[in-house]
Copies of this chain bind each other. A is one copy, B any other.
């Protein structure tokens, strides 16, 4: 019942970049500040670049910045990259394909938290959540 490390890291990275609001932040700084293993972090950054959430500048004095406005990047966009988002049909017991008539033992109780999680992921954007964070 948790997000993958990649997703957790990615959200923290992007939140931090949003808060800093500098022209460019490099991987070493991110790795140090957020305590994420450098090599793993660069792997994640490459994924964020490929997903068009971040743009990179190579070479000396290079680094990363957001590619869109922070308000346009939703948590869901981040989770999608690592296949870690809460899908409409997200299933708690792994039987799948159920509805209100054909349902598993936990269906009823699962619907409410599931919807809240979907809502949180789909409606939260980086600008909004980065304002709330008091630590990254």
Interface residues of A (CB under 8 A from B): 1-3, 5, 8-9, 11-12, 15, 75, 84, 86, 90-95, 98, 101-110, 112-114, 116-117, 120, 124, 129-130, 132-136
Contact = CB atoms under 8 A, between A and B. Distances in A.
28 contacts: A1-B1, A1-B2, A1-B3, A1-B117, A2-B91, A2-B92, A2-B94, A3-B94, A5-B94, A8-B93, A8-B94, A9-B94, A11-B105, A12-B93, A12-B95, A15-B104, A75-B106, A98-B135, A101-B134, A102-B134, A103-B132, A105-B129, A105-B133, A107-B133, A109-B116, A109-B129, A113-B113, A113-B120
Contacts of A134: 101-103
Contacts of A101: 134
Contacts of A120: 106, 109-110, 113
